[in-house]
Amino acid sequence: MKRIDNFNAGPSALPLSVLERVREELVDYQGTGMSVMEMSHRSAAYEAIHDAAEAKLRRLLNVPDDFRVLFLQGGASLQFAMLPMNFLGPDETALYVLTGVWSEKAAQEAVRFGHVVVDDQAKAEGYTDVPTQVMRPADVDLRYVHVTSNNTIYGTQWRELPVTDSPLVIDMSSDILSRPVDWTNVGVAYAGAQKNLGPSGVTVVFVRDSFLARANGDVPTMLGYPTHVKQRSLYNTPPTFAIYIMGLVLDWIEEQGGVEGIAARNREKAGLLYRVIDEYPDFYLGHAKERARSDVNVTFRLRDDELSARFLAEATKRDFVGVKGHRSVGGCRVSLYNAVSVESATRFATFMEDFVRAHR
Ligand code: PMP
């Protein structure tokens, strides 16, 4: 069996033990005589999987009791539209903090439904940083402030969530469960599962009851959060197999010492690569300012394009997958999500050092 060092940005690596368990249970799930894929979503066996996944998420992330947890479809991209459709009236205003491509996309959807103001400090800096303090217009009542906790493409991350006087709506797609969450000021948080949580197909949404209470009732049934809250994400057929695998990933996270354990490991992995970047500034140029460096997406380029191309070719030859930067920024991006091992990160850091020695 071949398992490569997988640094894909999403979908991305899953823990091998989880994949092996899926294989073991694939055709006969715990004596039911069928695969989870073949089960009714109304069956007791599936409901147990569904409820356990929610309970594990709540426990691991310390989600307060006044939050509902939803398993939806449509990816984080559908949340970009569902959020303002439900929570931003035509006379209301939301602030979007632009910290990368994904927050820009979120803001573009919100414009269809209400007023949008933006904090574009990071954009002005070429998305190398996140704001030290969110800038909000005076005298405007803000329905919510939208932030992206980790910027997958640029490799920047908020070390701490910003403090604002309005509820935060957070796109946690690329760093959910990679570190603890301070829920104090959160109204909604959402994330596609395919980076840190499991396979693609399920999107996790956390909504606070007091925020939900102000949802617009006049939206299509499937696009209204109250529909899914009332039916515990079983209004229609949920992505059952993806939710099952997510549950297994959550068990695995628990075994790694929970979110604290995972966060320490993620710090260590990212530190291995940033150390090499800092040690050879004549070779590697990190994209993110040090204070905003992401623990899950390490972005950098080499001193010139030709060397970058050679580096990427050499990485491919050595079976490192997913190292090419996003097409909108170029360079290199190494995604070190939860399931990427310290050994994988160590092998890549060593490769980076070897590359310097070979091309000095
Ligand atoms: N937000 C962020 C921060 C992302 O990284 C991504 C996907 N890379 C998205 C949103 C879009 O997610 P999806 O493909 O699940 O719609």
How many whole angstroms from 98 Cα to the centroid of ligand 1? 15
Task: For residues 289 and 219, state if they share a domain.
Answer: no
Name which residue sits closest to atom 10 of ligand 1, judged by CA: 76
| Number of continuous H segments (helices) and E segments (strands) in the chain | 11, 14
Q: Which of 108, 127, 173 to mutate to test the pocket of ligand 1 (most atoms within 8 A of CB)?
A: 173
How many whole angstroms from 190 Cα to the centroid of ligand 1? 10
∠ Cα 314 4 300 (to 5°)? 50
First to last CA, the chain: 36
User: What one-character-per-residue DSSP string does 210-225 give?
Assistant: HHHTT--S-S-GGG-H
Task: For residues 80 and 213, state if they share a domain.
Answer: yes
Q: Give this complex's ipTM.
A: 0.99
Task: For residues 217 and 263, state if they share a domain.
Answer: no
Task: For residues 234 and 134, state if they share a domain.
Answer: yes
For 342, the domain range is 257-359
Tell me which residue has tokens 């090499």: 276
| 311 phi and psi angles, rounded to 5 deg | -60, -45
- Assigned domain for 266 exists: yes
CATH code of the domain covering residue 163: 3.40.640.10
Taking residues 255-269, report their average pLDDT. Answer: 98
Type of residue found at 351: F
Ligand 1 neighbourhood includes 173 CB (under 6 angstroms): yes
Name which residue sits closest to atom 15 of ligand 1, judged by CA: 75
CATH code of the domain covering residue 312: 3.90.1150.10
Task: For residues 155 and 281, state if they share a domain.
Answer: no
Name which residue sits closest to atom 3 of ligand 1, judged by CA: 173
Name which residue sits closest to atom 4 of ligand 1, judged by CA: 173
User: What one-character-per-residue DSSP string does 26-88 give?
Assistant: SSSGGGSSS-GGGS-TTSHHHHHHHHHHHHHHHHHHT--TTEEEEEESSHHHHHHHHHHHHH-
Report H helices in the chain: 16-25, 44-61, 75-87, 101-110, 121-124, 209-212, 225-230, 240-255, 258-279, 305-317, 342-359
Task: For residues 148 and 188, state if they share a domain.
Answer: yes
How many whole angstroms from 243 Cα to the centroid of ligand 1? 18
Ligand 1 atom closest to Cα of 192? 15
Ligand 1 neighbourhood includes 76 CB (under 6 angstroms): yes
- Whether omega for the bond prior to residue 11 falls within 30 degrees of 0, making it cis, is yes
pLDDT interval class at 328 (50, 70, 90): confident
102 is catalytic: yes
How many whole angstroms from 76 Cα to the centroid of ligand 1? 5
Taking residues 272-293, report their average pLDDT. Answer: 97
The catalytically annotated residue of 56, 195, 269, 295 is 195
Q: What is the pLDDT of residues 48-106, one digit of tens each?
A: 999 999 999 999 999 999 999 999 999 999 999 999 999 999 999 999 999 999 999 99
Name which residue sits closest to atom 12 of ligand 1, judged by CA: 76
| Position with higher pLDDT, 337 vs 305 | 337
Whether residue 97 contacts residue 145, with contact meaning beta carbons closer than 8 Å, is answered with yes
Name which residue sits closest to atom 2 of ligand 1, judged by CA: 173
**Rounded Cα–Cα distance for residues 206 and 73 (Å):** 14
Q: Which of 105, 174, 200, 327 to mutate to test the pocket of ligand 1 (most atoms within 8 A of CB)?
A: 174
**Total number of domains constituting the chain:** 2
Taking residues 286-298, report their average pLDDT. Answer: 97
**Average of per-residue pLDDT values in the chain:** 97
Q: Which of 72, 73, 77 to mutate to test the pocket of ligand 1 (most atoms within 8 A of CB)?
A: 77
**pLDDT at position 329:** 86
- Assigned domain for 226 exists: yes
**Rounded Cα–Cα distance for residues 246 and 116 (Å):** 34
| pLDDT above 90 as % of the chain | 97
| pLDDT above 70 as % of the chain | 100
How many whole angstroms from 24 Cα to the centroid of ligand 1? 31
Taking residues 173-186, report their average pLDDT. Answer: 97
317 is catalytic: no
Q: What is the pLDDT of residues 213-260, one digit of tens each?
A: 999 989 999 999 999 999 999 999 999 999 999 999 999 999 999 999
How many whole angstroms from 10 Cα to the centroid of ligand 1? 8
38-47's contacts with Cβ under 8 Å and 24+ in sequence apart are 39/240, 41/234, 41/237, 41/238, 41/240, 42/234, 46/240
Task: For residues 172 and 46, state if they share a domain.
Answer: yes
- Assigned domain for 148 exists: yes
Residue ending a domain, choose from 205, 239, 255: 255
Residue ending a domain, choose from 255, 271, 294: 255
- Assigned domain for 10 exists: no
102 labelled ligand-binding: yes
195 is catalytic: yes
Tell me which residue has tokens 């490769």: 351
- Assigned domain for 5 exists: no
Predicted TM-score (pTM) of this structure: 0.98
Q: What is the pLDDT of residues 110-139, one digit of tens each?
A: 999 999 999 999 999 999 999 999 999 999
- Assigned domain for 200 exists: yes
- Predicted confidence (pLDDT) at residue 327 exceeds the cutoff of 90: no
Tell me which residue has tokens 């956390």: 206
Residue ending a domain, choose from 210, 232, 255: 255
